[in-house]
Amino acid sequence: MDLNFEATELRLGLPGSIDDQSEIKTTNSPANTNKRSSSEMGSSISDANDTSRSAPPAKAQVVGWPPVRSYRKNQLQAGKKTESETGCGIYVKVSMDGAPYLRKVDLKMYKSYEELMKGLQTMFKCIIGLYYDRELGYNNYGSEIYKPTYEDKDGDWMLVGDVPWDMFLSSCKRLRIMKGCEDMEG
Amino acid sequence: MAYSFPDDVLEHVFSFITSDKDRNAVSLVCKSWYEIERWCRRRIFVGNCYAVSPGIVIRRFPDVRSVELKGKPHFADFNLVPDGWGGYVYPWIAEFSRAYPWLEEIRLKRMVVSDESLELISKSFKSFRVLVLSSCEGFSTDGLAAIAANCRNLRELDLRESEIEDLSGHWLSHFPDTFTSLESINMACLGSEVSFSALECLVARSPNLKTLRLNRAVPLDKLSTLLRLAPQLVEFGTGAYSAEIRPDTYSRLAEAFSCCKKLKGLSGFWDVVPSYLPAVYSVCSRLTSLNLSYSPMRSPDITKIISQCHNLQRLWVLDYIEDVGLNALALSCKDLQELRVFPSDPYVVDANVSLTEQGLVSVCKGCPKLQSVLYFCRQMSNSALFAIARNRPNLTCFRLCIIEAQAPDYLTFEPLDAGFGAIVEHCKDLRRLSLSGFLTDRVFEYIGTHANRLEMLSIAFAGDSDLGLHHVLSGCDSLRKLEIRDCPFGDKALLANVAKLETMRSLWMSSCSVSFGACKLLSQMMPRLNVEVIDEQGYSDAEADSCLVEKLYIYRTVAGPRIDMPDFIWTMDQDRAYRLRNRPSS
């Protein structure tokens, strides 16, 4: 926990004032007060509008504000990490025409179709082309090029690459890598 | 000619009196009632573990079966109380182990609990039944293993929100095969995976199990197994509610839930896969309590669930619910009594979540039984607070946190004094209030004047001068706990209201304007108060009396100054020179 000692330093005067509203809005930190120094001992507390106050650095966090329990904070942080990491991966079966065994891949490991193809190529030691890939597109009728397809939530077999990646992630149930000699282009 | 009932008749009558307040009143009637009452009091509550000593408790109440202790001040939840402050339970357990061999229940909040304490508990009390550790720390899963292994009659083990050193999940396997009395277990705060077969067997041999709160590590596809073994559950907390989408897993889960006819409370739902949520729909209509505050569920999914929870009384949720979800809540849940909305991302200025003051207003208008509110939001207006106050005069707890400190009324840029003033004026039974936003001394005038039933008040970044604090301390007849941070309140108000402090449990002030000198004076004037100064920075020798204290914790006590303070905490009853001479070098 980053203890912001500056924020817990003793201050005289109000923590912030109306004039500082715009700063407070952008910096998310309210402690707009002077540092206490022994030479200021005599100054009265009612000096509420001390203009020599300086704005704290932007995004300085005040200890304990907003008042969220550390237990809850830790849980929220852990939750966010799980969402962005592969904590709960999306594992789908991958079959390849002619291969004796199926494999499983975690779709969450990839951020795009291109990355997924690279991963599958490494796994199956073949060349897989997305239909819109100008170099490896299906216009090249070489039989070494494989085409990726997937089964969606409705049970239909779809060509990989049509829908946005996120939508693909949520609808893909399994993958099948088909031999390139099957003509998919009308 | 005085005659009275025989003692055992009186004792029998007293056995029907369970509330502490009533028991205390009974004990004041006369000496003989005091004597009879103290011998038959079975349950004690100590709201501040330093207000009294174990010895004093045991001398007065020789045969206690249930103890509840609270340790650190509330602001410890927000890291304002340094480590090492205190709140150690071991001395209490040590004395209880000698004096109360029949002790059955221990409930602790914000205390430091060591593994040794847990081991001592597990070995000292043969009829031990209930252990609740709420927001505690200092122990590990080894301590839990001792409890599991030795407490043969354990009924309840609740670790709510404690910080536990999680060495392994093996502790659960220490419950012996002959152990069948479990009624309630809450292990949600633990990270490690427990042996599923041990958990399964435990659930299977616990016919009285009513509450089962799992931790995140228990996977979704195992939930149906557990639910099928315990269809009598009243409260259930899931683990991570996510798995590959498989129709058979889903249907097993949905069926298992539908068999739980007594289920009234749900919680958990970490890591949600929305496709699995409909599995709980069958229980929604019976739910009275729903805690989604650790769940990343978004508004559409939350709304679908709560729209079916017509009997809901308590909802804890993140601000992902958004105003639209709160509107649905207002329409669907007419029995709602308690609402808590926590921030999903408290540290950003703009959380990209569409939750405003309107959601709260909507619930206050739509839910006639709403009594308790905790609400984090990013904007508030006086008009919204007026609407809340007018619609919900039955509020007993109102805790509002506008995330940006000192934020004014976002419509008029005025302070929120009038709005909170309306709250205290209309809500005559208000017992707890937390303020936020831009506030002047005026709001404290309203509070001091109107908040006669207020027992706990939390203030941050508010007020202009000592007058604000003076209004509160000179009014608020029922005030027990006052906690203040970063306000320009100082010596004058404190010293003008010293007698008030003895009528309260405690006062916390941090980053305010109270001087060492005032603390010393207060301490001399009020010997039954402990005036504890927390100062991690140390203070300079010169002009020490006029130096401002960092943090101050004042509480009434019959136990005298405490002896377990770390070196950064001082009581002001010692001579300053003596203290400086004997201070350990930092």
Higher pLDDT, A28 or B563: B563
Cβ pair B448, B474 in contact under 8 A? yes
Of A10, A71, A72, the CB nearest to B511: A10
List of chain A residues whose C-beta atoms are within 8 Å of the C-beta of residue B159? none
Give CA separation, B70 vs B27, B74, B136, in Å: 23, 10, 10
Q: How far apart are CA B467 and CA B489, in angstroms?
A: 8
Across the range A154-161, mean pLDDT stands at 88
Closest CA relative to residue B301, chosen from B318, B325, B265, B319:
B325
Q: Say if residue A142's pLDDT is above 60.
A: no
Cβ pair B77, B54 in contact under 8 A? no
What integer pLDDT is reported at residue A112 of this predicted model?
84
Provide the shortest C-alpha distance from residue B547 to chain A (in Å): 7
Any chain A CB within 8 A of the CB of B467? no
Look at B511 and A25 and tell me if their CB atoms are within 8 Å: no
Of B242, B347, B407, the CB nearest to A88: B242
Enumerate helices (H) and strands (E) in chain B, giving the number of each. Answer: 22, 23
What integer pLDDT is reported at residue B536 of this predicted model?
80
Lowest-confidence pick of A127-141, B120-134, B464-478: A127-141
Look at B78 and A67 and tell me if their CB atoms are within 8 Å: yes
- A&B contacts, CB < 8 Å: 139
What integer pLDDT is reported at residue B580 of this predicted model?
52
Q: HSE on the CB side for B321, CA within 13 Å?
A: 36
Any chain A CB within 8 A of the CB of B344? yes
Dihedral sign of CA atoms B33, B38, B42, B46 in order: positive
What integer pLDDT is reported at residue B334 of this predicted model?
98
- Per-residue pLDDT band at A138 (split at 50, 70, 90): low
- pLDDT, one tens digit per residue, over A87-114 is 456 888 898 888 888 888 888 888 888 8
Which of B340, B486, B549 is the best substitution to test chain A (most A C-beta atoms within 10 A)?
B486
Higher pLDDT, B350 or B575: B350
Look at A28 and B404 and tell me if their CB atoms are within 8 Å: yes
Of A1, A65, A87, the CB nearest to B460: A65
- pLDDT, one tens digit per residue, over B382-397 is 999 999 999 999 999 9
Helix, strand, coil abundance in chain B, percent, nearest 5: 35, 20, 45
Provide the shortest C-alpha distance from residue B133 to chain A (in Å): 14
List of chain B residues whose C-beta atoms are within 8 Å of the C-beta of residue A71? 135, 161-163, 189
ipTM value: 0.87
- Per-residue pLDDT band at B318 (split at 50, 70, 90): very high
Higher pLDDT, B574 or B215: B215
Closest CA relative to residue B148, chosen from B88, B202, B111:
B202
- pLDDT, one tens digit per residue, over B125-183 is 999 999 999 999 999 999 999 999 999 999 999 999 999 999 988 999 999 999 999 99
Give Cβ neighbours of residue A167 (< 8 Å, ≥ 6 apart).
Answer: none
Any chain B CB within 8 A of the CB of A155? no
Longest dimension (CA), chain B: 82
Of A41, A65, A70, the CB nearest to B543: A41
Provide the shortest C-alpha distance from residue B15 to chain A (in Å): 38
Of B240, B343, B406, the CB nearest to A30: B406
Residues 30-49 of B with CB under 8 A from A: none
The DSSP H or E segment spanning B258 is: helix B247-258
List of chain A residues whose C-beta atoms are within 8 Å of the C-beta of residue B509? none
Structure-block tokens of residue A35: 């540092």
Structure-block tokens of residue B520: 């010393």
Any chain A CB within 8 A of the CB of B3? no
Of B244, B348, B511, the CB nearest to A91: B244
Dihedral Cα B199, B205, B210, B216, nearest 10 deg: 0
Q: How far apart are CA B434 and CA B374, in angstroms?
A: 9
Residue with tokens 């509610």: B241
For the stretch A132-144, what's the b/e string if a residue is b when 16 or more beta carbons lie within 10 angstroms of its beta carbon?
ebeebebeeeeee
Look at A61 and B347 and tell me if their CB atoms are within 8 Å: yes
Q: What percentage of residues in chain B have a pLDDT greater than 70? A: 96
Peptide bond into B82 cis (omega under 30): no
Of A64, A79, A82, the CB nearest to B80: A64
Closest CA relative to residue B498, chosen from B527, B477, B538:
B527
Longest dimension (CA), chain A: 90
Lowest-confidence pick of A125-129, B352-356, B426-430, B536-540: B536-540
- Per-residue pLDDT band at B544 (split at 50, 70, 90): confident
Any chain A CB within 8 A of the CB of B376? yes
Residues in a beta bridge with B508: B483, B553
Any chain A CB within 8 A of the CB of B415? no
